Amino acid sequence: MMIENKEFGRIEVRDIPLPWESEDISGTYTYSGRVLVSYGTAKEHEGKDWYHVVTLNDDGTDVREVFHGEIPKLQGANGIRWMCFADNKRILLGDYVLECSPDIDHCEEAKLMRLYYPEHLDHGEGIFMRWSEIVIAPDNVHMAWTMLTSTGSMNYLGRLVREEGCYRLEDICAISSDTFFAPDPEHEGYCVPLPARGGELKQFIRGGRALSMAGGGDSVSESMVLPLDSQELIQITHTPGYEETTIFSADEKLGVVMSTRFSEKTNCGVFGLVPQPQSMAVRGKFINCLYMYSVSGVRMFRKGNIGPVLIDIEKSMKEGRAHSGVDLSDPEGRWVYYSPISWHPDSTRAMWNEGTRPAEGPIERRLRMCRLLDYEPGQPVPAGVVPGKEEIPYALPGKAPECRPAEDAFSIKIKGKSGGYVLNEGGTGNPPVYRTVYEDFSDDGETFYNGTMTVTAPVSIFAPGKTVFEADLSVTGRHVGEMKLRAVFRRDDVHAPARLSFAEGEDGKPESRGYSAYDGVVLDIKDMEP
């Protein structure tokens, strides 16, 4: 497939030829520019977690074996991942490190080494998954990972230390926020918001001095950058719908994003069309539901796509919603994106994984790539020094996160920089209700917010059940908009994607109904995929 684009020129999109068929394929570029592929199924060896690992060129030639054998999946881990070290001699798998001698491209001996996390971060109270994402820094030493808990996520940074027969993580620090507010020193009874460093980590950038991550921003969910050497928090994408992973090219000028922006009926744009400043009470309890609808649902049975999308990093930051990027998803809608995304070191090629939906028959997998035929790349960003925990201004001790009790109610009032206030409160009721209330709130003196948003949801964001979102919100001034919206999502069990209910409610109206409007754009929830 050839895409002609004014901004990026010609873009070739094609499969990476593989000399076998398998329902379990995962691929990523190595630092040398070859493709590392794992394949195989549990059926091969009587239910054991058996893998074949090879490297090849992205035209399908020169296949070389790296490893074959059992790699047991451990409880509390997000499966097996394949993250290549910059030294091109090792692969991080999550709970293991695979050492390749003399290197990954010419592996004559492969050694599987167990990676041990600190005990208190392995089996602590409320830990849902000890890691959901893992990334290795270009210095080949520092590792960062995301832990999922019953109340959200927590990110950590540590040093990999090799011991006899294993690896361990040492010098641990937390790099997520554990406090999101502080008392307002100028206004009694009010609070000031602190940077919300959360979401899932995706990639070391800036030579190891920053991380890309998913979650945050001023809409549903955006791609962010988390510098390790400053208090700054940088928003990369600006869309009304669900955004997650941005993986930067080696020159860090381009990115490939996991995005729903080209999936009209499942992008959840009706929830983010109107920006919602300081709405953390509502958003924190609703974001996983939107993920389970727009991502998990699309991967399993729902029509739509989750990208990927090619973007210009600088334009995405400066132009916001005006920079749409290029849709790289399957135009026929049969194949759906899966992690990971990776870039060739020449910054002209990117690769990702795709699969078919289980609801449509036996699962098929493929590796997909794009090649920018007219792009002139810059120099790759060189590896640098990763800041230690003493140099990260917001680093916290590497202890296990504290899980708040279900009855932990809160009420946080934030004064607008130019007038009014926003109130976030919740944690009361069974099920608990979370509310954001605007009273003439303005940060710029030109745009003003009034109204409410509420979410009624299970205590844990990962628990099944019914989640109800309601908004009666108006925006006036320089920007004009409103949300008159009600949405009911249902999940049958912890692994089931969310379903949007349009069934008749007790009032005789559809359970999900209403619209959002902002600066002339109108989105109606009835147009979403049920």
pLDDT, tens digit, for every residue of 477-519? 999 999 999 999 998 887 788 899 999 988 999 999 999 999 9
379 plus 427 within the same structural domain? no
Domain boundary among 397, 430, 459: 397
421 plus 382 within the same structural domain? no
Range of the domain at 363: 2-179+191-262+305-397
Q: Is residue 61 one of the residues assigned to a domain? A: yes
361 plus 321 within the same structural domain? yes
What would the pLDDT profile of 126-144 be if each residue is shown by its tens digit? Answer: 788 899 999 999 999 999 9
163 plus 31 within the same structural domain? yes
What would the pLDDT profile of 210-269 be if each residue is shown by its tens digit? Answer: 999 998 777 788 999 999 999 999 999 999 999 988 999 999 999 999 999 999 999 999
393 plus 444 within the same structural domain? no
393 plus 435 within the same structural domain? no
CATH number, domain of 50, equals: 2.120.10.30
Residue 241 and residue 261 in contact, taking contact as beta carbons nearer than 8 Å? yes
Residue 285 and residue 263 in contact, taking contact as beta carbons nearer than 8 Å? no
Q: Which residues contact 318 (CB under 8 A, 6 or more apart)?
A: none
pLDDT of residue 461: 67
State the average pLDDT over residues 351-358.
96
Q: Based on the structure, what is the number of domains in the chain?
A: 2
Burial of 297 from C-beta contacts in 10 A (0-12 / 13-18 / 19+): buried
Phi and psi angles of residue 149, each rounded to the nearest 5 degrees, phi first:
-120, 175
What would the pLDDT profile of 467-482 be if each residue is shown by its tens digit? Answer: 999 999 999 999 999 9
Q: Which residues contact 88 (CB under 8 A, 6 or more apart)?
A: 30, 31, 32, 103, 104, 105
Q: Which residues contact 153 (CB under 8 A, 6 or more apart)?
A: 132, 146, 147, 176, 198, 199, 200, 215
Residue 363 and residue 334 in contact, taking contact as beta carbons nearer than 8 Å? no
pLDDT for residue 124 is more than 80: no
Q: Is residue 294 one of the residues assigned to a domain? A: no
Q: Is residue 282 one of the residues assigned to a domain? A: no
Q: Which residues contact 418 (CB under 8 A, 6 or more apart)?
A: 442, 443, 444, 445, 446
460 plus 348 within the same structural domain? no
Q: Which residue has the higher pLDDT, 428 or 78?
A: 78
Domain boundary among 368, 397, 426: 397
Closest residue by Cα to residue 494 from 448, 524, 450, 463: 463
Q: Is residue 10 one of the residues assigned to a domain? A: yes
Q: Is residue 69 one of the residues assigned to a domain? A: yes
- The overall average pLDDT reported for the chain is 92
208 plus 319 within the same structural domain? yes
- pLDDT band at residue 84 under the 50/70/90 scheme: very high
Q: Is residue 278 one of the residues assigned to a domain? A: no
pLDDT of residue 233: 92
Q: What pTM value is reported for the model?
A: 0.94
Give strand pairing partners of 157.
144, 173
pLDDT of residue 457: 87
pLDDT of residue 46: 59
Tell me which residue has tokens 């000031």.
192
- pLDDT band at residue 123 under the 50/70/90 scheme: confident
Domain boundary among 371, 397, 423: 397
Q: Is residue 290 one of the residues assigned to a domain? A: no
High-pLDDT (> 70) share of the chain, %: 96
Q: Is residue 281 one of the residues assigned to a domain? A: no
513 plus 434 within the same structural domain? yes
215 plus 360 within the same structural domain? yes
pLDDT for residue 45 is more than 60: no
What would the pLDDT profile of 168-220 be if each residue is shown by its tens digit? Answer: 999 999 999 888 899 999 999 999 998 888 889 999 999 999 999 998 777 78
What would the pLDDT profile of 4-34 be if each residue is shown by its tens digit? Answer: 999 999 999 999 999 877 778 999 999 999 9
pLDDT of residue 92: 98
Q: Is residue 7 classed as helix, strand or coil in its secondary structure?
A: coil
Tokens found for residue 158: 């540590």
pLDDT of residue 344: 98
pLDDT of residue 43: 60
65 plus 108 within the same structural domain? yes
d(CA 227, CA 211): 6
State the alpha helices, DSSP H only, in 292-415. Answer: 297-300, 313-319
Based on its alpha-carbon atoms, the radius of gyration of the chain, rounded to whole angstroms, reads 23
127 plus 249 within the same structural domain? yes
State the average pLDDT over residues 266-293.
91
Closest residue by Cα to residue 274 from 485, 415, 527: 485
Residue 192 and residue 182 in contact, taking contact as beta carbons nearer than 8 Å? yes
Give 95's DSSP letter.
S
pLDDT for residue 55 is more than 90: yes
Burial of 124 from C-beta contacts in 10 A (0-12 / 13-18 / 19+): middle
d(CA 340, CA 406): 35
pLDDT of residue 40: 76
In order of 148, 151, 289, 412, the CA distances from 126 in angstroms are 9, 8, 20, 25
